[in-house]
Amino acid sequence: MNKVKKAVIPAAGRGTRFLPASKAVPKELFPLVDKPVIQCIVEEAAAAGIEEALIVTGARKEAIARHFARDPLLEAALRRDNKTEVLETIERLGRTVKLRFAVQHQPLGLGHAVWCARDFAGHEPFAVLLGDMVCEPGSDIGSLLEVYREKQAPVIAVQPVEWSEVGKYGIVKGKSAGERLVAVEELVEKPKSEPPSNLAIMGRYVLEPDVFPILARQKTGAGGEIQLTDALQELARRRRVYALSFEGNIRDAGDKLGYLQAVVGEALRHPDLKGPFADFLRQAAALAQDPQGRESS
């Protein structure tokens, strides 16, 4: 039985939805309180038993590799100042899983970014965790790995979205194959009209190396990019592919609202912040409902 030990984390996109903030700082490094988005994703992979991860970065996104690299000067300064707790956090960064990096020289699309991981994957199955999608605890890659263990077939995480939103996502249609499980029949990236369903792909996949020859031939699709969804549509014609309905919240931190939701979620789980931050949110919510109250008080 094939166990999934590797993960690919594509993080080479342009991040245009977040410009100008993402011009010099990759959106994958935006903080969720005190942790960059991509660190949360690496920790999610580690918690699910992934041993080795390849982060696909862009030509101008070296800061991502720097975040995970050792920094002897910083570590020495923290040691000297007895800042033991933060020192441990810093030392642990690159150690949760064995990290490797590949550069996608041009952001030709998510499908192309995954194709950049073909040598890393070799003959093994691998998880894909998009570098800007953050799962709240309980809705992580672990549930996909369980399905993979049982089915030994590719699995995609999906969630229903509002019908008005389907044009922003890769959309999956299929027939029920068990609790929360769908046997995929059709996949469409960002459907412009007549979407086949409102089940949207949520940035987590478990794939096998048979996707690489398809990706190698994949023509550009939606947005002029080489789309992973299009390659998976071809894969689903050849073999059984499953979609698992994810429970819990997954936030697109590459989108402004999704990022704010992810920050709030993280702050409400943070041991030092959750109390005072919840108080602040209650006040902010009251203000949002009654903006005049602020002026009159």
Binding mask 65-104 for ligand UTP (x = CB under 6 A): ---------------------------------------x
CA distance 160 to 121: 30
174 binds ligand UTP (CB under 6 A): no
DSSP symbol at 211? H
Closest distance between ligand UTP and the C-beta of residue 250, in Å?
A: 13
132 binds ligand UTP (CB under 6 A): yes
CB atoms within 10 A of CB 88: 10
Binding mask 42-61 for ligand UTP (x = CB under 6 A): --------------x-----
Binding mask 253-272 for ligand UTP (x = CB under 6 A): -x------------------
Sites for ligand UTP among residues 7-26 (CB under 6 A): 10-17
110 binds ligand UTP (CB under 6 A): yes
Contact 113, 56 (CB under 8 A): yes
Closest distance between ligand UTP and the C-beta of residue 118, in Å?
A: 14
221 binds ligand UTP (CB under 6 A): no
- H helices present in the chain, as ranges: 37-47, 63-68, 72-80, 84-92, 110-115, 118-121, 141-151, 211-217, 228-238, 256-269, 274-289, 291-296
Burial (CB count within 10 angstroms: exposed 0-12, middle 13-18, buried 19+), residue 64: buried
The structure tokens listed for 270 are 């943070």
Q: DSSP 3-state assignment of 56?
A: strand
CA distance 39 to 96: 10
Contact 45, 98 (CB under 8 A): no
- H helices present in 178-255, as ranges: 211-217, 228-238
Nearer to ligand UTP by C-beta: 42 or 56? 56
Closest distance between ligand UTP and the C-beta of residue 66, in Å?
A: 17
**Which position has the token pair 């890769």?**
170
Residue range at the interface with ligand UTP (CB under 6 A); choices 4-12, 142-150, 190-198, 204-212: 4-12
Q: Binders of ligand UTP: how many residues, by CB under 6 A?
A: 21
Closest distance between ligand UTP and the C-beta of residue 14, in Å?
A: 4
Among 36, 39, 45, 109, binds ligand UTP (CB under 6 A): 109
130 binds ligand UTP (CB under 6 A): yes
CA distance 44 to 296: 46
User: CA dihedral defined by 168, 151, 182, 254, rounded to 10 degrees?
Assistant: -20
CB-based contacts of 293: which residues, under 8 Å, 6+ apart?
A: 286, 287
Nearer to ligand UTP by C-beta: 104 or 159? 104
Nearer to ligand UTP by C-beta: 116 or 155? 116
CB-based contacts of 99: which residues, under 8 Å, 6+ apart?
A: 42, 52, 53, 54, 55, 68
154 binds ligand UTP (CB under 6 A): no
Closest distance between ligand UTP and the C-beta of residue 269, in Å?
A: 22
Closest distance between ligand UTP and the C-beta of residue 119, in Å?
A: 16
Residue range at the interface with ligand UTP (CB under 6 A); choices 77-85, 107-115, 161-169, 209-217: 107-115
Q: Which residues bind ligand UTP (CB under 6 A)?
A: 10-17, 28, 56, 104, 107-110, 112-113, 130-132, 254
